[in-house]
Chain A
Amino acid sequence: MHIMEGFLPWEWCLLWYVISLPVVAYGVLQIKKITEKNPESKPLLAVSGAFVFVLSSLKLPSVTGSCSHPTGTGLGSVLFGPAVASVLGAIVLVFQALLLAHGGLSTLGANIFSMGIIGPLVAWLVYKGVQRVNGSTLLGVFLAAALANLMTYVTTAIQLSLAFPVPSFGVAFNNFMLIFAVTQIPLAIAEGLLTVVIFDYIMKLRPDILENLKVIGTKMKEKVGAVM
Chain B
Amino acid sequence: MFNNTLDSYAHYNNLKNINTFFKVIFAITTMLVSLISSSPVVPLLIALVMSFLIVSQAKIPWKFYLKFLALPFFFGLITFIFMAFFFGVGAHILDLGIFNLAVTEDGFNLGLLTFSRILAGFTCMAFLALTIPMTELFSELERLKIPQIVVELAMLMYRYIFIFLDEAINMYHAQETRLGYSSLPKSFKSMGMLGSNLFIRTWIRGEQAHIAMESRCYTGSLKTSKSPESLKNAGKRNLILLVLFELVLLFGVYLTSNFSFF
Contacts and interface: CB of A to CB of B under 8 A. Distances in A.
Q: Chain A interface: which size bin?
A: 35 or more
B11 to A, nearest CB: 13
B87 A51 contact: no
B75 interface: yes
Nearest to B129: A98
A28 to B, nearest CB: 5
B198 A55 contact: yes
B200 A202 contact: yes
B64 interface: no
A39 interface: yes
A100 B3 contact: yes
Interface string B148-163: 0110111011111101
User: Which one of B7, B137, B210 has the highest number of Cβ atoms from chain A below 10 Å of its Cβ?
Assistant: B210
A35 B205 CA distance: 17
Given A10-B35, A55-B195, A205-B196, 17 more contacts: A4-B122, A6-B114, A7-B118, A28-B149, A39-B210, A44-B210, A45-B153, A46-B160, A47-B202, A50-B202, A51-B164, A54-B164, A58-B191, A88-B153, A99-B4, A101-B71, A209-B203
A45 B153 CA distance: 7
Nearest to A201: B196
Chain A contact residues: over half helix, strand or loop, or mixed? helix
Q: Chain B interface: which size bin?
A: 35 or more
Interface in B174-205: 181, 184, 187-189, 191-200, 202-203, 205
B55 interface: no
Interface of A: 4-7, 9-10, 13, 28, 31-32, 35, 39-40, 42-51, 53-55, 57-61, 63, 87-88, 91-92, 94-95, 97-101, 104-106, 164, 166-167, 172, 175, 190, 193-194, 196-202, 205-206, 209
B132 to A, nearest CB: 9
B114 to A, nearest CB: 6
Contacts of B200: 202, 205-206, 209
B207 interface: yes
User: Which one of A28, A43, A94 has the highest number of Cβ atoms from chain B below 10 Å of its Cβ?
Assistant: A43
